[in-house]
Structure 1
Amino acid sequence: MNFYQIPTEDLKANTILNFNIYLKQQNGFVLFREKSLSFSEEILYRLIENRIKIIFVSNEDLEEVKKYYSSLEEGRPSVMTNDGFAGPVFDKSENVEKYYKTFFAHYPIERETLIPGSSVNFNVYKKYDIELEHYIGPDTYEIPGGTVPDDVRETTHPLAILKGDIPLYKEYLQQVTQEMSHQGSISQELRFSLLRENAKLIAKEILEYPRESENIEKSHAIVEKLVESVINNVNSFYHLTNIISKDYYTYIHSLNVCTLSIGLGASLNQISEPGLIELGLGAMLHDIGKSLINPRIINKPGRLTKDEFDVVQRHVVEGKKLLGDITTQMPENVFKVILQHHEKLTGGGYPYRLRGDDIHLFGRIVAIVDLYDAITIERPYRKANSPFEVLQLMSNSNGEYDNELLKQFVLLLGSQV
């Protein structure tokens, strides 16, 4: 493959690039940004900050590059709207409203928990950006439930159910667990799927009803199970984060951050099991403050405006206050995670601009995992970044993240099978 040079300064922030971007390294060219993704101000800033003055595109994409330059000259690049919504879907207000309506009315489920040949008495849908397609179950509640097809695992689209059907889904999960346990045929994949789904349901309840102390107690119990699973499956626990969704759900993110933080903490061989539970609790609850923010901002299918981002930043302090009002029994390290997961070693984070060793080990762990998961989750308005892209971004962040922890995180991800 041959490559063509482009000055970084030629790229306009907040436009859509229909060509792959490569960076040149000692061992050759590496993919930095996939085509059809928005090129945000943050990405441009990172390139400039790291003194990357030249980027590369393959000769195969030269026609797309020419079209991009032409669109800039004519003042018609594919851009995000002033409200942060990107075309061709979310630049239309009716589509944004349809997205919100679908998002808030449905709950994403795991295809691995649907056993081929079993019966379900709730509707299951394939989920697209703003559309749903009926897949399994009754179209109305007047006829018996449907049968899960044999090829359910081959489905590539995320699956969802109506939120009102969550109690029926919970009953189904209990039934599957009991039947498989009695048969003694439960696989590790299914065991992980059931644990993941039950943990996800608890994380959802915590964020939707954060003031109920019972939910906080449930979080402690599920974190203990996650710690046990990670310790017992040190080379395969990554499957606990294997959740397919094109939407950003805070509770899915919280579960992923919890699991990966426990894994990173355990790999250091210096944190006791009770300490891992505290780390996991902090990671599970790190975004609890977002439950107090307008859900249309948290779940926006587009880039946040400056005002919206300022509002979201409050979740750190609000989360600590909220949890402190609910319980007096929470370990201090849990609060440190909540308060410090957006701090940076250079002092450029928030809310207190802490530096270096002023940031607790748990805060530094969750800061790495939080960013990693947030950017590798697919969004309705952009594709997910690859793990390599995210790790490269953090490695080139001029000391914002703990370099030793970052190296260990890379080794940890590489060890997963």
Structure 2
Amino acid sequence: MQTLTTQVAIIGAGPSGLLLGQLLANKGIDNIIIERVSGEYVLGRIRAGILEQGLVDLLAEAGVDERMKQQGHFHDGFEIAHYGKRFRIDLKTLTEGSAVMCYGQTEVTRDLMQARENIAATTYYESSDVQINDADSDTPSVSFTHNGEQFTLNCDYIAGCDGFHGVSRKSIPDENKTEFERLYPFGWLGLLSDTPPVANELIYCKTERGFALASMRSNTRSRYYLQVRLTDKVENWSDADFWDELKKRLPQDAAERLVTGPSLEKSIAPLRSFVCEPMQYGRLFLVGDAAHIVPPTGAKGLNLAASDVATLFRLLCQVYDGSDDAAVERYSQIALKRVWHAERFSWWMSNMLHEFKDEQVDSQTSQTFERFMNSELDFYLNNEAGQTVIATQYVGLPYEKV
């Protein structure tokens, strides 16, 4: 049994754990990261690619934005195609200068991994039997097994950045947490391909055949999504079937210029809204997907994790610089305010843009629900004030002050 000591133990080497670790290290706050899988596996995850300005600024503060500045693309707007009628949400005009950055989460993770390697910070990949001990005391610790050897990591604080299925949230006793969940009756079938994107900006499509999204990772790599039933399976969709259905859901001119090709990755992701309250237990803090999940419709998952990181980082700085020993006690209250705003926006976008016919108990209820949703979306899209609301939330609300 080996005993290690650090100031902040971070569970999870995804982008949130790596970003928190880099920010802390830059301030001289020692941290060790423990990760269940290999670094190669982490980089193999295909995830989002739209970054709010807050995350762009946070990456710059961490000193890991050089490649993003060279290869990323700022998007000043995006389109919503509502039953064939197209609306451009002009982010820059409607929000007085704000935009979003298109830069893949895989690339963000790669940059953060390289930065951590450059400063020789400690990360234990492929660790098993991870267990959080005495989180509600002044002497928390994390035990784990690495390369067949058992370790105990003593620390001041624990950041649970290990995702929805990780050990961190499960370590909080049931009587000390409340979980809120909304499951959606459909999933997203996603396809990644080395083909030029169909448009320079994202296109969200609501059609009678279901939702579709035309997204991108770069000028030569595209990411597309189709709404499918939860019972559907990836093997039921050949590449040809996917491209054929996508063309039917895209606006006609976009469909005509769509470049198709072999899929690099294809998968179906279920959609859910989830929040755990509070986001802390003693000296354990839940960060990102460990505390909350949003449907991807509003592009908030990674961005919401980043705002958690920013909040926890700044509060820990106040503790370690001696300005406020009790600062971390405010973490959950501060983080949850922004979390619920993003949850509501992502829920709203999902309701507006997807077909819910399979969810309703009878045809009359289904038709009524669809009328309500279409009327609301029509109202928002045909009014500048409504478009401003969409744009303001899409580019991201300001980080809460700590």
Higher relative contact order structure (alpha carbons within 8 Å, sequence separation ≥ 6): 2
Do both share a fold (TM > 0.5)? Answer: no
TM-score by length of 1: 0.21
Higher strand share: 2
Higher helix share: 1
